[in-house]
Structure 1
């Protein structure tokens, strides 16, 4: 059985990568979209990136167009939007599907994790957040309406920062 670290991915510019490139860091993996009512969460995600990056943490944005077509752009358009509108510095992956028959293997693994209410399964909307520990285990799941800087999210991140 492969680990999260072994699943083949691509950065938004098409470069092959894996979560293994972030081994030893706590990760917040978030399916993102540019034309969603929750898009302003990019601000909080970037603040988390700035606050914790030097302590072994990174946000990883995963564009997805499965929810009401709210991420229609090309890779270049998404990158430009994120950097110019929200000053995003955290890594973005290629646009993928997070639900259904074409669900990316990364999300096949992530969606097995339960949220605080004990619910696992499909992604419900844009900006669902998964906290991955420094050793590659999914240790938290936060639903889309949970703000990135909510106390339960920041406490969970701080508990996972490498010592």
Structure 2
């Protein structure tokens, strides 16, 4: 299991592109092969908002810990970091060439668009599981209300998403125990 964990997070580190949120679909896909459920992934996503640090490293630590305990968390975190130790020195060495390459700039522009699509796919996947928890057409109106209130407060009142996440967590906790 540890070798599979290393290979998966090396793959995520090498192939994940576009930042942490864009990598979430790749992280979910690969983590699912390790037995991570959608509910655990939703918990991971909530923790990523609350915990400082890069999403890929936080995700690797969380998934590794679930799959193989503390040692799995450490190993998965190290595996996802290895590509940075390879790519950053290479980039710094060839920085001028890369920045002036029109083909590379065009490819990067296309990858930005793909990153938005990947972020949207994870949002839809998590939203579907939150609003329709029983895989039927019965909507969870309470969760939908929390989502709408948070959207309104974030967009119209410009309240910090971290504050909204904490508040939604408190409301969810209270409602769960009532």
Query: TM-score, length-normalised on structure 2?
Result: 0.25
> Relative contact order (C-alpha < 8 Å, sep 6+): which is higher?
1
Query: TM-score, length-normalised on structure 1?
Result: 0.27
- Which has the larger strand fraction? 1
- Which has the larger helix fraction? 2
